[in-house]
């Protein structure tokens, strides 16, 4: 079994300090990229919104029967089909 020895001298001899600094640098660069991408995202989304606009909803009907007329016609047809009336 390997005998692991601890101590500051073994860390320096095994290049632990440069590896730790490299790791911390990588993490800080990654966090900076994430923060920068979050800060830039509203501008990018504005550009995308200008390039690809949202579809407009359909215009409401202006001619033809309204819902009350349709409901009255359906009720009259149902009443006639059931044999109601005089």
Q: Residue 9: its pLDDT value, please? A: 73
Mean of pLDDT values over 31-51: 96
pLDDT band at 61 (very low <50, low <70, confident <90, very high): low
Query: How does pLDDT run across 2-36, given as a tens digit for each residue?
Result: 666 667 777 777 777 888 899 999 999 999 999 99
Reduced 3-state DSSP string for 25-40 = HHHHHHHHHHHHHHHH
Q: How far is CA 20 from CA 25, 26, 57, in A?
A: 9, 10, 57
Spell out the residues 6+ positions from residue 43 whose beta carbon is closer than 8 angstroms to its own.
Answer: none
| pTM for the model | 0.49
């Amino acid at each position: 079994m390997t005998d692991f020895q601890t101590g500051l001298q073994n860390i320096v001899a095994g290049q632990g300090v440069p590896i730790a600094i490299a790791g911390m640098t990588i993490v800080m660069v990654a966090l900076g990229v994430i923060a920068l991408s979050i800060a830039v995202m509203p501008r990018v989304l504005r550009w995308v919104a200008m390039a690809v606009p949202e579809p407009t909803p359909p215009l409401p009907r202006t001619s033809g029967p309204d819902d009350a007329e349709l409901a009255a016609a359906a009720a009259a047809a149902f009443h006639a089909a059931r044999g109601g009336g005089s």
